[in-house]
Structure 1
């Protein structure tokens, strides 16, 4: 069963462009992992949030893809660069 992933990130304005670069780095690595069907970086129309989306072939593919990205040095840290807690959603088809 396919699995969707959405991460909503609220970087401080001074870190906004850096955060987009971080998410795009993650997207590029995730796209190369087995079982990743798609991955993208979005910005809300009001430039308030950076949204990462991905779709995976299975829960196992999602977990393996994020593990591979971490091993590749992708920065997933939540820290003072974000002004609000990020929201992470895992989605299932109906």
Structure 2
């Protein structure tokens, strides 16, 4: 069963470019993982949100992909560079 994740990140304006680069690096690592179908970075039209959208072929692939990102030591932590908490929605294909 396909699974997905959509995450809205709200970096402060001074950190937006840096944050977009961070999301791109994480998406690249996701895409290298077996079972990752897609991983993209989007910007909300108003520029407030950086949105990451990822799709995997299974929950196992998702777990492996998330572990690979952590093992790579990529910066994924929430901190003061963000104006408000992230909104993360996990999805399951019907």
Normalising TM by the smaller chain, what interval? over 0.9
- Counterpart Cα distance in 1 of 2:41 and 2:74: 14
Task: Measure the CA separation in 1 of the matches of 2:78 and 2:69.
Answer: 16
Corresponding residue for residue 55 of structure 1: 55
Q: Deviations over 1:29-57 (max 9, x none)?
A: 10000110000000001101000001001
The aligned runs of 1:10-49 (5 Å cut-off) are 10-49=10-49
> Whole-Å Cα distance in 2 between the matches of residues 70 and 14 of structure 1?
25
Q: Deviations over 1:60-90 (max 9, x none)?
A: 1111101101111211100001001001111
- Stretches of structure 1 lacking an aligned partner (at least 5 in a row): none
After the TM superposition, which segments of 4 or more aligned residues of structure 1 sit over 2 Å from their partners? Answer: none
Q: TM-score, normalised by structure 2?
A: 0.97
1:85 matched residue in structure 2: 85
Shift in Å, 1:91? 0.5
Specify the SS of the correspondent of 1:79.
Answer: coil
**What SS does structure 1 have at the residue aligned with 2:74?**
coil
Structure 2 unaligned segments of length 5 or more: list them.
none
How many residues in Structure 1 have an aligned counterpart in Structure 2?
94
